[in-house]
Amino acid sequence: MNTVLDSIRSEALFASTLQRSQSPTPELIREVVTTTVDRLGEARCAEVVAQEFGEHPDCALGRMRWARNAVRNAFA
C-alpha cells in the first residue's frame, strides 16, 4: 500500500459527510473519497481533520480509525 495515498484517502473520508453508521459499501467509500478530494482538495481535507482533532479529539480519533480501516478495505 502507498501510505501517502492511503493518508490522503483517509483524510478525505474523514472530512466527508459519510458516517460509519450508514454501513457504506467499498464502492460508496471509493466514490465519496474521490468526490471529497475533488470538492475540497487534499489540503482542505487535511485542514478539516486537524480542526476536528483540535475541537473534538475524543470523537475524531474514532472517526479516523474507522476512516483508515474503511480505506484499507475499499482500496485493497
The DSSP annotation for 30-50 comes to HHHHHHHHHHH-HHHHHHHHH
Write out residues in the chain with pLDDT < 50, as ranges: none
What is the per-residue pLDDT across 17-34, written as a single tens digit (0 to 9) for each? Answer: 999 999 999 999 999 999
Q: What is the helix, strand, coil percentage profile of the chain, to 5?
A: 85, 0, 15
Geometric angle at alpha carbon 37, from 22 and 17, rounded to 5°: 25
pLDDT of residue 2: 85
Q: pTM (2 decimals)?
A: 0.94
- Grid cell locating 69: 480501516
Q: Which amino acid is at 30?
A: R
